């Protein structure tokens, strides 16, 4: 009787549950999701690290502290035929200009020289600003650019920005003696003359060196001189401006070598 009772007790005891296929799938899905999340997190971390490593801060380090319009050229300008004006300032502090302080392109311009005049330092600084703000690449200096008429109007250097070839002319807004203000009439004359020359050089450049857009870089002695350039620009005939992009750069600090 005791033996029969024990047998019945064992027979009535609940069996140990066996995992179902659904439970197994759920566990597998959980593991897969966890692995996927881990992989995604790793990918996100890698992407973030890559973005951080490749980020460029403008202006690039170099000779003088640049403020104002910098890293401004994009499709809004390249896809338009309208003229544009940008203005910035480079402050050299107490450090005098020497070639080793410039970017490689600026050093090349300084070493190569131009086809006349005494403005080579301003041309070197002008390129330096374009390099540090817009990642300009120097393609050719003034004497290397090929023209249809060797005696015709020329530009100061050929560069590339955002894959666009640009011909850049450089001039200075400076009145002597510098203690006297820069007159508006001089600013107007300077812009009309230089912008007119740009139209002629646009037509004179040989196809091998033809640029897609023309720039005029004005290196201004002080903010007051730059103000006069801006005021004159507002009154220039649109046909003279054409699609030229004007960049006005004020120099502060030890800029005696430029003027």
Give the number of C-alpha atoms closer than 13 A to the C-alpha of residue 43, restricted to the C-beta side.
6
Over residues 78-98, mean pLDDT: 98
> Is residue 106 domain-shared with residue 154, that is, in the same domain?
yes
CA 249 vs CA 115, 170, 178: distances in Å: 23, 11, 17
Q: How far apart are the first and last CA of the chain?
A: 123
> Is residue 78 domain-shared with residue 143, that is, in the same domain?
yes
Distance CA 198, CA 241 (A): 9
**This prediction's pTM:** 0.79
Beta strands at 137-141 and 84-91: parallel, antiparallel or unpaired: unpaired
Token couple for 115: 């086809």
> Is residue 95 domain-shared with residue 216, that is, in the same domain?
yes
Query: How would residue 117 be classed by pLDDT, with cut points 50, 70 and 90?
Result: low
Instruction: Give the model's pLDDT for residue 69.
Output: 99
Instruction: Give the model's pLDDT for residue 54.
Output: 65
37 domain residue, yes or no: yes
- Comparing 53-62, 69-78, 206-215, the range with the smallest average pLDDT is 53-62
Domain count, the chain: 2
Helix (H) or strand (E) holding 226: helix 223-233
Q: What percent of the chain has pLDDT over 90?
A: 75
DSSP for 38-64? Answer: HHHHHHHHHHHHHHHHH---SSPS-SS
Instruction: Give the model's pLDDT for residue 113.
Output: 80
1 domain residue, yes or no: no
> Is the pLDDT score of 204 beyond 70?
yes
Token couple for 214: 């023309």
């Amino acid at each position: 009787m005791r033996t029969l009772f024990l047998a019945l007790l064992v027979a009535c005891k609940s069996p140990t549950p066996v995992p179902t296929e659904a439970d197994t799938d759920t566990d597998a899905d959980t593991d897969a999701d966890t692995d996927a999340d881990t992989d995604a997190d790793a990918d996100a971390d890698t992407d973030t690290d890559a973005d951080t490593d490749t980020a460029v801060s403008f202006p690039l380090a170099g000779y003088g502290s640049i403020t104002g319009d910098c890293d401004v050229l994009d499709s809004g300008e390249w896809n338009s035929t309208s003229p544009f004006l940008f203005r910035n300032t480079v402050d050299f502090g107490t450090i005098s200009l020497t070639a080793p302080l410039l970017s490689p392109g600026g050093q090349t311009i300084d070493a190569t020289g131009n086809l006349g005049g005494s403005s080579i330092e301003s041309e070197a600084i002008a390129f330096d600003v374009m390099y540090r703000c817009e990642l300009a690449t120097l393609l050719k200096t003034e004497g290397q650019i090929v023209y249809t008429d060797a005696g015709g109007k020329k530009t100061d250097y050929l560069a590339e920005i955002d894959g666009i070839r640009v011909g850049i002319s450089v001039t200075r807004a400076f009145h002597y003696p510098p203690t006297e203000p820069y007159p508006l009439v001089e600013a107007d004359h300077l812009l009309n003359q230089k912008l007119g020359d740009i139209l002629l050089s646009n037509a004179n450049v040989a196809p091998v060196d033809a640029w897609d857009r023309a720039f005029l870089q004005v290196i201004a002695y002080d903010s007051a001189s730059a103000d006069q350039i801006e005021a004159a620009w507002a009154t220039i005939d649109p046909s003279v401006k054409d699609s030229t992009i004007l960049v006005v750069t004020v120099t502060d600090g030890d800029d005696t070598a430029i003027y």
